[in-house]
Amino acid sequence: MDQAIFTRYLSGKARIFWQLIICEEVTKSNATFLNACEILNRLSLYADIGVMAYEQLSIIDHIKELREKRNAVILAHNYQRPEVQDIADYTGDSLGLSKMAAATSADVIVFCGVHFMAETAKILSPEKKVLLPDMKAGCPMANMIKPSQLQALQDGNPHAKTVCYVNSSAEIKAMSDLCCTSSNAVHIIRQAFDEDDKIIFVPDKHLGNYVSSQVKHEIILWPGYCPTHIKILPEHIHDMKEAFPNAEVLVHPECYFRVIELADKALSTGQMLEYVAQSDGMAFIIGTERELLYRLRKDNPGKTFYHVTEYAVCPNMKKITLEKVLASLKHMTGEIMLSDEVIHRAGRSIREMLKYSQ
């Protein structure tokens, strides 16, 4: 056996260690050179997994130390990576996270989500430092309407009320009468406005279309959408219902209306968690971003969950990692900065929302 080949085949600090193991395995089994390489690959894989697990634990320990030192709270959306959800003090949907941001006594809020969520936390807690571990973690839907575009829409409909989905920028919230989330949009429009009021709803046309089907108000839609939820198609629902006929279908109201029509329930992520926990059902087809299934399975170990399609994954939510959370806490980077005027005006629309969501 050519030892030089093995030496080149091995790498890193574990080289001598693996050479000893391979020699022992080869001696025991009288393995061929190729067998030895196969053994090496297997053992190296186990070592890589072990090293990664150790490094992750070390990162988590540092995060916990800094969280205490900074008097920080970590908030994570239900679409975050599982390991990020696990280190959070609170995990939830947009409404739940908004309430937590408003109520926390922490000095620092580390928001594991996307940019508009961290902005909302800053608006509700302007005296606190709000950190977004990756400032490039944006929301394409929130970027689909600009203040000048909303102003033109309002100018063309001077008597209409403006309701903005929470998935919008702080500037859009500042121009709106009320903010809403996917969990309370229908309730808010029913409670806050007369039925003959005309409503401008921005930016999500799919959520707006769903709301329109549930209320009597005239809804003026803006053509925004979630790039993740539009990947969930009617044929995916048909296929999954055929494969799992006893499973209930739960979809997010950001989906196409035809998808919603095929589902048993249209619910926000927080509502899905509540519904499944209370349901006698044992199997569910979930039509939203992939990572909600991690939370569902964790909270309901006796129940079975099927993701409607592998394509429903939000790349922006995945930009937040443990390493970035640690770096943000360590260096206090990624701070959300908003003007006092925007905080004041946007805060009015958000607090009105919370008033209707008690």
54-80 confidence digits (pLDDT tens): 466 689 999 999 999 999 999 999 999
The pLDDT, as a whole number, for residue 41 is: 58
Is the pLDDT assigned to residue 123 strictly greater than 90? yes
Mean pLDDT, rounded, for 122-136? 96
- Is 217's pLDDT higher than 70? yes
CA 286 to CA 298: how far, in whole Å?
A: 15
What mean pLDDT comes out for the span 162-184? 97
pLDDT(182) > 90: yes
Q: Are 320 and 81 in contact (CB under 8 A)?
A: yes
Question: What pLDDT, on the 0 to 100 scale, is given for residue 133?
Answer: 98
The answer to whether residues 287 and 232 touch, using CB atoms and an 8 Å cutoff, is yes
Q: Which two tokens stand for residue 300?
A: 């309901």
pLDDT at 83 over 50: yes
Q: Is pLDDT above 80 for 233?
A: yes
With cut-offs at 50, 70 and 90, classify the pLDDT of residue 39: low
Alpha helices in the chain (DSSP H): 3-9, 15-29, 33-70, 82-87, 94-103, 115-124, 147-156, 170-174, 185-192, 205-214, 234-243, 257-262, 269-278, 292-299, 322-331, 340-355
Q: Which of 16-25, 71-80, 105-114, 264-273 has the lowest mean pLDDT?
A: 16-25
Q: How many CA atoms lie within 13 A of 150 on its CB side?
A: 28
Residue 163: band (very low, low, confident or very high) from pLDDT cuts 50, 70, 90: very high
- Averaged pLDDT, 117-136: 96
The single-letter code of the amino acid at 5 is I
**What average pLDDT does this structure show over 103-115?**
96
Residue 27's pLDDT band, with cuts at 50, 70 and 90, is very low
Q: Which residues pair with 265 in a beta bridge?
A: 250
Q: What confidence tier does 357 reach under pLDDT thresholds 50, 70, 90? A: confident
Report the pLDDT averaged over residues 192-200.
97
The answer on pLDDT for 124 being more than 70 is: yes
Q: What is the pLDDT averaged over residues 101-109?
A: 92
- pLDDT of residue 291 exceeding 90, the answer is yes
For the chain, first and last CA: distance in Å? 74
| % pLDDT > 70, the chain | 84
At 272, the pLDDT band (50, 70, 90 cuts) reads: very high
- What's the mean per-residue pLDDT of the chain? 89
pLDDT band with cut points at 50, 70 and 90 for residue 23:
very low
Q: Is the pLDDT of residue 47 over 90?
A: no
Distance CA 102, CA 89 (A): 15
- Could you tell me the fold of the domain covering 142-226+339-355? Rossmann fold (3.40.50)
Q: Which residue has the higher pLDDT, 100 or 39?
A: 100
This prediction's pTM:
0.83
CATH 3.40.50.10800 in the chain is located at 142-226+339-355, 229-313
- Comparing 246 with 358, the larger pLDDT belongs to 246
Q: Give mean pLDDT, residues 241-247.
A: 98
Q: How many CB atoms lie within 10 A of CB 354?
A: 15
Residue 51, pLDDT > 70, answer no
**Is residue 16 over pLDDT 50?**
no
Evaluate whether the domain defined by 229-313 bears CATH number 3.40.50.300.
no
Q: Which tokens in the block code for residue 307?
A: 């993701």
Q: 326 pLDDT band (50/70/90 cuts)? A: very high
Residue 17 pLDDT grade (very low, low, confident, very high; cuts 50, 70, 90): very low
Say which DSSP state 179 is in. Answer: E
- When pLDDT is averaged across residues 324-347 and rounded to a whole number, the result is 97
Mean pLDDT in residue range 92-98: 86
